[in-house]
Structure 1
Amino acid sequence: MASTTTIRTPRRLAERIDGGDIANAATEHADKTPDQRQCECEDGRPSNVETVDGTEYCSDCGVVLSDCQLERSEPGWRDPEDRRLGPGQSQQWVNTGTTIGWGETSPGERFSRYNDRLTNQERSLVSGIREVRSVSAGVELPDADRERAAYWFRKAAQERLLKGRSIEAFAAACVFLTARERQYPVTIDWLAECSPVESSKIRHHVRVLQSELDVSIPPAHPRDFLPMIVSHLSLEPAIERRAARYLEDVVADEMHVGKHPAAIAATVIYAAAADIDTELTQAEIADTADVSTVTISRQYQMVLECVSDQQP
């Protein structure tokens, strides 16, 4: 039979409970810290101390001597140089400015003072990071890539490249730079649809990032756009596999050099769909790839010649 331990109530507390002052007695006993609580045995020292779940108490009078102690030491198995405190920091949020006290002013005046405490560079950073999040969400950029885009914008702000230039265009340029680095299918024209600036202005700021930050932007490849176009059109996997084979033949002949990567990807998909008699018009696939139907028609003849040459 398992033994049970009963914590007895201190005598002083028990007397007040018998007198009817239950609430005040319990509150007074609970408000005392373990250092303020004294054993109520005859000699004032606990003679029989027991521990249950980290809590020490006197089994004779029932006074809790110490509550459960928190472990405040760092783990010994972790390298001291690799330890850190606090949550991981995000590049997409700017932690700057504070609000000290409420005072007797209106909320509008308080926010006005808050904005006055931000420098011009901090205001530009807050506005630019917000625009980076907006454009990234518009093109459905993954979270890890959004962090990278915010990093590029912070670096541009540190190099003081924002002065005299468009913050919105720099934000879109940072998103485009990240998409090229991570091989994410995005064009400048698509970014312009999610940004308040034109595509020509975004291209100019992309060139500024390349020259000032010494960044090399790899060219886009048609294979990066292939899964995205197939997914948007809800085509069968067999069409995607056939289009991938056609694209390998086109790349092997270097017929894709100097041409729009999304147009090449859309053309091989259209050719693959036509081979297995799938109903797909040039207008539908051109609208998905954001190119003209004339481009699809011209590239289609090139793809047919390239594929016929590769076949035995």
Structure 2
Amino acid sequence: MSTTRHTCPECDSLVRKQNRESVCTQCGLIIAEDNLDRGPEWRSFDDDASDPKRTGAPLTPTRHDRGLSTRIGRSRSTSPRRRRRMARLRQQHRRSQTRTKRERNQRNAFIDIRQHISALSLPKVVHETACKLFRQAQNAELLQGRSIEGFTAACVYAACRMVSISRTKTEVVGHTKATDNEFDAAFKALNRELDIALGPPAPAEFIPRYASQLGLSAATESRAHEFAIDCRERGISNGKNPSGVAAACLYTAALELSDEITQKDAASVADVSPVTVRNTYSALQS
């Protein structure tokens, strides 16, 4: 609050300037009002605001053109002639966005990745990471002689592993057109050539999702996490399917806390056989 040394024209009292108004302190008369915002027209969240960006949407790695191209929406006109014209414009615009076969492959791959992300209910960070991995694989010439569908599935699976989100290979491949062999070839190429250094998934990553699908209580889920830690420390989970180990931990915790669950129920959500659950359960009890 700053004070301006001039007087009110009505009562000759002191006028105080606050924000955008000059108001008399005695009678409350508004002497002047400025509705213009004198501040900057841009906002910057970076440390260096010397060159602020004033136009355009932010860049996104989930589109082949990084989101810089214009999109032509649907016309609400009732005129058939205008609708046909807009359809032709959209078609020509889509063709102009990809000048080479490489760009067309990248655009189609990003569309497939977006569909996988939606089908598996994965967060935005997995979407962006998967698109970055595919772009790196294409720049490294890893797609030659391999399936694009296999690489899109492998990128989604690798992105889940990188951000510690539990999705099995069967779940990822089940939502794609790629075969198991195409997925394996693409994932091995990603892991070998890009050196992303993916470790085996931990059984604890699968426990919250499986507990939710089985309708188990929070106490059972917490106890299953303790069993998962015990499996790791005792080496029970070494060389075993982490999804099956997670199902066995949930089954063991449910029996201990009197939750109604069978070995078949636990095995079905983890896509393993009841024998796998039974063997890990026996190892935990020993």
Report the TM-score when normalising by structure 1. 0.68
* Contact 1:191–1:199 under 8 Å retained in 2: no
Unaligned runs of 5+ in 2: 1-7, 10-31, 73-81
Unaligned runs of 5+ in 1: 4-50, 56-67, 306-312
* Contact 2:207–2:246 under 8 Å retained in 1: yes
Cα deviation, residue 254, structure 1: 0.9
* Contact 2:42–2:53 under 8 Å retained in 1: no
Answering whether residue 163 of structure 2 is matched by residue 178 of structure 1, we say no
1:189 to 170, 173, 180: 170
| Residues 152 and 299 of structure 1, relative CA distance in 2, 3 Å threshold | same
Point out the more displaced range, 235-244 or 253-262: 235-244
> Could you say which residue in structure 2 is the equivalent of 1:111?
91
> Could you say which residue in structure 2 is the equivalent of 1:285?
266
| Residues 54 and 245 of structure 1, relative CA distance in 2, 3 Å threshold | closer
> Could you say which residue in structure 2 is the equivalent of 1:207?
188
* Contact 2:146–2:182 under 8 Å retained in 1: no
For residues 218 and 189 of structure 1, what CA distance do their matches in structure 2 show? 18
> Could you say which residue in structure 2 is the equivalent of 1:87?
57
For residues 252 and 47 of structure 2, what CA distance do their matches in structure 1 show? 57
Cα deviation, residue 233, structure 1: 1.1
Cα deviation, residue 200, structure 1: 3.0
For residues 246 and 158 of structure 2, what CA distance do their matches in structure 1 show? 21
* Contact 2:236–2:280 under 8 Å retained in 1: no
2:232 to 251, 259, 268: 251
1:152 to 130, 133, 155: 133
Q: Letter of the aligned partner of 1:91 in structure 2?
A: P
When the two structures are aligned, how many residues end up with a matched partner?
244
| Residues 88 and 232 of structure 1, relative CA distance in 2, 3 Å threshold | same
Give the fraction of aligned pairs with identical amino acids, expressed as a percent: 28
* Contact 2:164–2:201 under 8 Å retained in 1: yes
Point out the more displaced range, 153-162 or 212-221: 153-162
Aligned pairs for 1:1-312 (under 5 A) are: 53=34, 79-80=48-49, 83-85=52-54, 86-95=56-65, 107-108=87-88, 111=91, 114-115=94-95, 118-305=99-286
Larger radius of gyration: 1
Please identify runs of 4+ aligned residues in structure 1 that moved more than 4 A: 68-75, 96-100, 104-110
For residues 193 and 53 of structure 2, what CA distance do their matches in structure 1 show? 34
For residues 244 and 148 of structure 1, what CA distance do their matches in structure 2 show? 27
Q: Letter of the aligned partner of 1:222 in structure 2?
A: P
For residues 270 and 99 of structure 1, what CA distance do their matches in structure 2 show? 51
For residues 231 and 237 of structure 2, what CA distance do their matches in structure 1 show? 6
Deviations 1:203-235 (A, max 9, x none): 221101112212211211111111111111120
Q: CA RMSD in A?
A: 3.2
Report the TM-score when normalising by structure 2. 0.74
